[in-house]
Structures are given as C-alpha cells and as structure tokens.
Amino acid sequence: MTTTQLTAPAVRRAAARRRRLWTRRARRAGLNLLGLLVALVTLFPIFWMVSTAFKPSTEIYSLTPHPLPTHPTLANFRTVIDGSVIGLPYWNFLRNSLFVTLTAVVASSLLALLAAIAVARFRFRFRTTYLIMLLIVQMLPQQALVIALYIDFRSLSLLDSLVGLILVYTAFAVPVTIWMLRNFVAAVPREMEEAAAIDGAGPVRVFWRILLPLVAPGLVATSVFAFVFAYNEFIFALTFLNVDTAKFTLPLYVQYFYGRNGANWGAIMAASTLFTIPVMAFFFLVQRRLRAGLVAGAVKA
C-alpha cells in the first residue's frame, strides 16, 4: 500500500490498468473453462453411447473402461441392421417411424396453420376459451388418457395399426403447434395482405401467395416440435402396438431390443445410436430457428 502511494500517479494508473486487464483475462479464461466443463459433462452420455456402439464386447466389459474403442468394430451395428432380435432389420422400424412421424407432422401443421390464422388475425367469441383450452390440453398426462384411447381404439380396430398412432400424434401435436405458430402468423404484416387484396387477389390467393411463403420459416420451426414429439413418443406406441412387432416404431424397437438383449450393451447402444442420430442431425440443422421457436412458444407463453 505504501509503495503505491509513493509512486507517480501515471505509473500507478498504468499498473492498475494492467491489473484490471489481467483479472479480466483470468475471469474470461475461467468462464470459458467452466463452459467447456458444462459442455463435456452434458455431452458425455451421448459420447459414451456412440463409443460403446463401436466397441467389441471384450472392451465393453473390461474392468477399466476406455473412452474410445481401441479396436473399433461394426459388429454391433450389423446385429441391429440384420435384425437378429425381432427378425426384422432396422430399416423396417425406421420406415414405420418416419411414416408415422411425417404424416402426423404434415397433418398437425395443416390443422395448426388454419387455427393459428384464426387466432392471430380474428377476434371472435370463445377465442380466449379456445386458447386456454390449448394450454390445458398440453398438460393432460398421456399415461392417463392412454387408458381411454386404448379402449376406444380397440373397438375401432385401430390397435396394432400405424394409422391409430398417426391420429393420436396429430391430435397431441396440434395444440403446441398452434401455440407457437400464431406468433409467426401475427408477425406477418397485415398491410401486405391488404395490399394484395386491393390489387384484386381473393382470400385463397392471398393465403398462397402472401401468407404461406412468409409463415413458412415459422412452419419449419414449429414442425420440429411435432416431429420430435412423434418420433420420440413412447407411451402410446407401447400400449397400442402390442402383438405385431413388424409395426413397431423406433422407440419401441429400442426398448424391446433392450428388454430382450439384457446384457448385450454394444448392440443396444448401436440401436440407440441409430435411433438418436437422425433426430439429432435434424436438430442441428434447424437449431437456430428452433431456439427462436422455443423462446416464442414457451417463455412468452
């Protein structure tokens, strides 16, 4: 303290500046290190899944686990793709999943777009009731509703049918899709539609030429949620698809694989990797939009 008091003011200021610079750099390095740590811990389970999938069984059950396979093998993936468990190859279940998911996404996006236009562009009686209904419906527990739906679908012969799953996935994806899509519809400037209408465009033309192209990015962002919900859904698939294993969707397939293959962790992780990678790749591609959608849908909600 005494030395600083003795030095000239200019020198003292320079030293203080340097000190501040150093603390700022140290803090930045510390924060980056912390960020890296968070990323590593978060990534670890996914990394371990992929790494295990490439390990031969001797390495999987070794007493000291190694992060990376020393002798990488594709044997586990071959087990999955050949279909040694259910007797059907992985592609069969991927096809089921994609069929169910894509149909449900298209159907729910269509229904949601119509409703979103109504909610964003019109004031009408029961609008508030309708919106509150959408909020509540999202919170109803699926493991409760599945009982009644099972009984209904049984009498409609919709069990062990992908059509039944599509119906349920569409219905459960619609509320959240409307909820997020209406913000995108509301963001389209009304003046553009009005200008087109003055130019003589009818409502259908206004929809196709003005509204749809402008809402399309929002439609992509919101359809991600429907996609992920339908692709990952487990309870309904577990309950409705029982007898006919050929109809299984991927989540059910992975769970069945795990149930039957008790200790064959290499193959289970390979199955899980093949199930997870597509949805992750999809996520990565639309990430930025997605975060916008997340915020628009949930936080402002």
Look at residues 240, 262, 235 and name the one whose alpha carbon lies nearest to residue 251: 235
Q: For another protein, which is the closer residue by CB, 20 or 190?
A: 190
Report the C-alpha gap between 81 and 91 in whole angstroms. 7
Contacts of 246 (CB under 8 A, 6+ apart): 86, 88, 92
* Interactions with another protein, residue window 225-284 (CB under 8 A): 228, 231-232, 234-235, 238-239, 251, 254-255, 258-259, 265, 268-269, 272, 275-276, 279-280, 283-284
CB of 179 to another protein, least distance (A): 9
Check binding of 29 to another protein (CB under 8 A).
Answer: no
Q: For another protein, which is the closer residue by CB, 11 or 37?
A: 37
Half-sphere exposure (CA, 13 Å, Cβ side) for 69?
20
Q: Are 286 and 221 in contact (CB under 8 A)?
A: yes
Q: Are 71 and 56 in contact (CB under 8 A)?
A: yes
Q: Which stretch binds another protein (CB under 8 A): 5-13, 71-79, 81-89, 173-181?
A: 173-181
Q: For another protein, which is the closer residue by CB, 88 or 279?
A: 279
Report the C-alpha gap between 87 and 80 in whole angstroms. 10
DSSP conformation class of 207? I
Single out the residue of 211, 219, 221, 230 in contact with another protein (rule: CB under 8 A).
211
Cβ neighbours of 119 (radius 10 Å): 21
* Interactions with another protein, residue window 95-134 (CB under 8 A): 111-112, 114-115, 117-119, 121-122, 124, 127-128, 130-134
CB of 106 to another protein, least distance (A): 14
Single out the residue of 8, 10, 243, 299 in contact with another protein (rule: CB under 8 A).
299
- Find the radius of gyration of the CA atoms of the chain: 27
Size of the site for another protein (CB under 8 A): 108
Report the C-alpha gap between 198 and 215 in whole angstroms. 21
Q: Which stretch binds another protein (CB under 8 A): 2-10, 28-36, 74-82, 84-92?
A: 28-36
